Amino acid sequence: MTLLEKLNKAWHLKHPMPPNATFEQRVKWHSEHVKHCVCRPIPAKLLEQMKAKGLKLP
């Protein structure tokens, strides 16, 4: 399956990542993203930060 086949274009168009997103905004966006699109996983660095802060991983 190619990236274009995995991409939920409609979701991405309605939910852009905020410019200069804060940690909390990034967590919220990526947590929703994995529910609606499988074009890419949550970045490893963000997962590490979430784990360090004791946040539940999706």
Segment 24-42, tens digit of pLDDT:
999 999 999 999 998 889 9
| 7 in a structural domain | yes
Q: Is residue 39 part of a domain?
A: yes
In a domain, 58, yes or no: no
**Residue 37, domain extent:** 3-52
Q: Are 28 and 42 in contact (CB under 8 A)?
A: no
> How many domains does the structure of the chain reveal?
1
Question: The tokens of 28 are what?
Answer: 């919220």
0.75 cut: is pTM over it? Answer: yes
The verdict on residue 9 lying in a domain is yes
* 21 — pLDDT class (breaks 50, 70, 90): very high
